[in-house]
Structure 1
Amino acid sequence: MPNAPTEPAALSHRRTWLLLAGAFVTFAVGAGSMHAYTVFLVAFIEAFGWTRADVSVAYAVSQLVTGTSSPLVGVLVDRLGPRRLILIGGAVLALGAFATSHATSLWQIDVLYGVVMTLGANCLGLVVFVPLLSRHFVRRRGMAVSIVQSANGFARAYSAPVTTLMIDGLGWRGAYLWQGVFVAVVIAPLAMLFRGTERSAARSSADAQGWTLPQASRTPHFWLLMAVYLFTGLGSFLVALHQLAFAIDVGFDKLYAAGVLGAGAFLSLPGVIVTGTLSDYVGREISAIVTYGTSIIGVVCALLITSPDQHVLLWLHACFFGLTWGARGPAITAKTADLFPGPHLGTILGVITIGTGAGAALGAWMAGFVFDVTGSYRVAFWLSILFYLCGTVAFWALRRPPAVRA
């Protein structure tokens, strides 16, 4: 293994937990803005008459941009630190939301949401915070990453009902406008929480070598991790983007379905934290396999729903799928930090994250395409199960640490 990184200058216990809390809230703000698209998708279909595949393109573009821009975000966070990226990302995200409120055609939605807002949100995401937190929560790395990752599930949970109410009261344009206002107001105070962390990152880079991207890419573990991200993105987004549309098609009331799915998504908070923390004790692989199995149960429950009187199945689907939404993230991310520690972790993680962007993009678009061709989401849900099983196999292959190849 390359030379181990030296310990960073110690922060106070209170300071490290404040950084962790700040990372959670910041990630939740960015992720909430992006997850709201599952509700805007339905509004666009009603307002413009676009097909499911049409409105899925923006989300697919968003996931692809997330993956392809993550290496750049990783490099920037290694060099600039979280505070500057949060300020940049928040400004771009707010401007994107403002502009989207004036969109009049599909291509504008694709560009503004799929590219502009996504770039902003990606500067508020997990890649920005993992390098910092992994240096200060070494023994509890899985727990720390899981707490931040749970913000994604929290955002997914609150965004559906809140956005539904906002669209009902303000229209979709007004909802996007106020979304931009909210981001613009909160982002500067959140960025200030990370003041001084740039010096910590600079010292770590100067004092240690650790793994470099070329070294990591010569190991099978690097590509297995990318495959895990790819399969997980495919499995998750073949279902997640179209959950609300699926429930409405079956005959459930829109607000009721949004509430049920939102309640299920709230379970991801304890789900992600428990499985991430558990991975510190039983191993990343066991923790990940449990979450894959739980997600599969949730998808099976959706496959069994055929009429709007099957409320129990809708709740079971929402709870099982929601419980493990994002729950593999801490295990995958912590595993990456376990295997490739050092000051270049942000860069390495950013490149590996291309897998999840590609998988999520393809999965989101594929589900809409499958529906347009077959009139049902059943094939998409079966494909979700298949890709979750592929992710399980790939993760299990990561058990042994990599050897350095010069």
Structure 2
Amino acid sequence: MSASSSGPSPGHRPGPSRQAWLMLGGAFLAFTVGASLMHSYTVFLLAFVADFGWTRAESSLAYSVGQLVGGASAPLVGGLVDRIGARRCVLLGGSLLTVGLFGSACADALWQVVFLYGVVMTIGANCLGLLVFVPLISRLFVRQRGMAISVLQSANAFGRAVSAPTSQMLITGLGWRGAYLAEGALMAVLILPLAAFFRRTPAAPAPVPGAGAVRHWTLAEAIRTRPFWLLFTVYMFTSIGSFLVSLHQIAFAVDAGFDPLYAAGVLGMGSFLALPGVILTGTLSDYIGRENSALLAYGISIIGVVCAMLITGPDQHLLLWLHGCFFGLTWGARGPAITAKTADLFPGPRLGTILGVITIGSGLGAAIGSWAAGWIFDLSGSYRIAFLGSIAAYVAGSVAFWLLRSPADRRPA
């Protein structure tokens, strides 16, 4: 057998190893747990309104602060994972989530909920999220980066789908304080098993012989480019569009006359569609381009928001299902394309730090959207203006993403 036939051909890169797939599975599980705990706040919001008499804007404050803290802490977490690795970040994140959940069960004032959820739990969830796992996964899955990141990102959608009906059942059976205690106990049990997935980090695949050298970007270099700020803008407007709707979906459905448990079930089932939706759009981005994949997701999300705007009463079950399915199908579906695009443009050992700074835009947009929807409702008694704002934000995000279509455009801004 000739030497040429015994090794990889030029330009061929071996597929991901078994350990790489196990690492992706562990990241999916960790991200699912963290995301489900954080998304459950949409159900607790109504419990806070009923128990404490807070307005919708006040009840949304903790969530909004959480999004701001999530964005502000992103560079810290991104830099942290570049230095201490995924396992220690998971241990830290799981511990913070456990403390936050147990503390929330004892809260009796707005500032306590804001601090525990908006600061402690948010930083903990960041340590079990994309910022920690994307740099690792993007190194292990090079040719299948879009697919791998989409599988990882689908954990966020899966966690969101599970959180609404599960939390509603816990609150109905145990009360909101008992529900927080149950979630805290679950997190405490899962910390060590989740961290064990990342005990040993596999090495990245070796460079392809004869291939050109890949530039290793630093934050200082990336921040001076036009694509960096376009990505920041995409993250911000996408989050505004999503969170003008997502935090208040159940409250909107209940206001329309639907039973709370039924509404949580419908929207939760719709959210389950995000699992295949995120994977499909992320995998498509490897074949039809990141921008085309994202534009498809933006369009479907807008259809979902329009369906919600057409709901006027509790007899319109079809519209509620259509809203839940269309909005749920693409909730987070742009994430893999955006994140993979970031990894495409700014590869290297500082990807976590770069992604962390760009993610500030996501946190800022989510904070604006989630609080603004409650504020708009308090002023107008309706979510209609908020939903119109969601559509406008999605359009703005799609325009910014489309401007990234020129791969050679990495000139300093």
After TM superposition, the score normalised by the length of structure 2 is: 0.93
2:14, 2:79 → 1: CA distance?
A: 23
Corresponding residue for 1:17? Answer: 21
Check conservation: 1:208, 1:343, Cα contact below 8 A.
no
Corresponding residue for 2:248? Answer: 242
Match of 2:161 among 142, 152, 157: 157
Instruction: Establish whether residue 193 from structure 1 lines up as the match of residue 197 from structure 2.
Output: yes
Match of 2:369 among 363, 370, 383: 363
Check conservation: 2:141, 2:148, Cα contact below 8 A.
yes
Instruction: Establish whether residue 403 from structure 1 lines up as the match of residue 405 from structure 2.
Output: no
Note the alpha carbon deviations across 1:11-53, whole angstroms, 9 max, x for none: 9721111111111110010011100000000110111111000
Aligned-partner residue type, residue 257 of structure 1: A
Shift in CA distance, 274/385, structure 1 to aligned 2, threshold 3 Å: same
The 3-state SS of whatever aligns with 1:186 is: helix
The 3-state SS of whatever aligns with 1:218 is: coil
Match of 2:131 among 123, 127, 131: 127
Check conservation: 1:215, 1:404, Cα contact below 8 A.
no
Aligned-partner residue type, residue 332 of structure 1: I
Match of 1:259 among 240, 265, 283: 265
Aligned-partner residue type, residue 29 of structure 2: V
Corresponding residue for 1:341? Answer: 347
Match of 1:34 among 33, 38, 41: 38
Check conservation: 2:303, 2:326, Cα contact below 8 A.
yes
2:21, 2:158 → 1: CA distance?
A: 19
Aligned residues: 395
How far residue 196 of structure 1 moved from its aligned partner, in angstroms, is 1.7
Shift in CA distance, 191/148, structure 1 to aligned 2, threshold 3 Å: same
How far residue 190 of structure 1 moved from its aligned partner, in angstroms, is 1.1
Instruction: Establish whether residue 72 from structure 1 lines up as the match of residue 79 from structure 2.
Output: no
Check conservation: 1:35, 1:159, Cα contact below 8 A.
yes
Corresponding residue for 2:119? Answer: 115
Aligned-partner residue type, residue 370 of structure 1: I
How far residue 388 of structure 1 moved from its aligned partner, in angstroms, is 0.1
After TM superposition, the score normalised by the length of structure 1 is: 0.95
- Counterparts of 1:373-392 in structure 2, within 5 Å, are 373-392=379-398
5+ residue gaps, structure 2, are: 1-12, 208-212
2:225, 2:33 → 1: CA distance?
A: 35
Check conservation: 1:264, 1:323, Cα contact below 8 A.
yes
Check conservation: 2:245, 2:373, Cα contact below 8 A.
yes
Corresponding residue for 2:182? Answer: 178
Shift in CA distance, 337/326, structure 1 to aligned 2, threshold 3 Å: same
- Counterparts of 1:194-213 in structure 2, within 5 Å, are 194-197=198-201, 200=203, 210-213=216-219
Corresponding residue for 1:94? Answer: 98
Note the alpha carbon deviations across 1:351-374, whole angstroms, 9 max, x for none: 000000000001000000000000
How far residue 158 of structure 1 moved from its aligned partner, in angstroms, is 0.6
Match of 2:238 among 232, 236, 241: 232
Check conservation: 1:224, 1:394, Cα contact below 8 A.
yes
1:232, 1:190 → 2: CA distance?
A: 30
Corresponding residue for 1:4? Answer: none
Note the alpha carbon deviations across 1:281-310, whole angstroms, 9 max, x for none: 000000000000000000000000000000
Note the alpha carbon deviations across 1:227-270, whole angstroms, 9 max, x for none: 00000000000000000000000000000000000000000000
How far residue 208 of structure 1 moved from its aligned partner, in angstroms, is 8.3
1:12, 1:228 → 2: CA distance?
A: 30
Instruction: Establish whether residue 63 from structure 1 lines up as the match of residue 67 from structure 2.
Output: yes
How far residue 87 of structure 1 moved from its aligned partner, in angstroms, is 0.3
2:82, 2:389 → 1: CA distance?
A: 37
The 3-state SS of whatever aligns with 2:348 is: coil
2:386, 2:410 → 1: CA distance?
A: 38
Corresponding residue for 2:9? Answer: none
Tell me how large the CA RMSD over aligned residues is.
Answer: 1.9
5+ residue gaps, structure 1, are: 1-8
How far residue 126 of structure 1 moved from its aligned partner, in angstroms, is 0.6
Check conservation: 2:226, 2:411, Cα contact below 8 A.
no
1:63, 1:200 → 2: CA distance?
A: 33
**Structure 1 vs Structure 2: percent identity of aligned residues?**
66
Structure with greater Cα Rg = 2
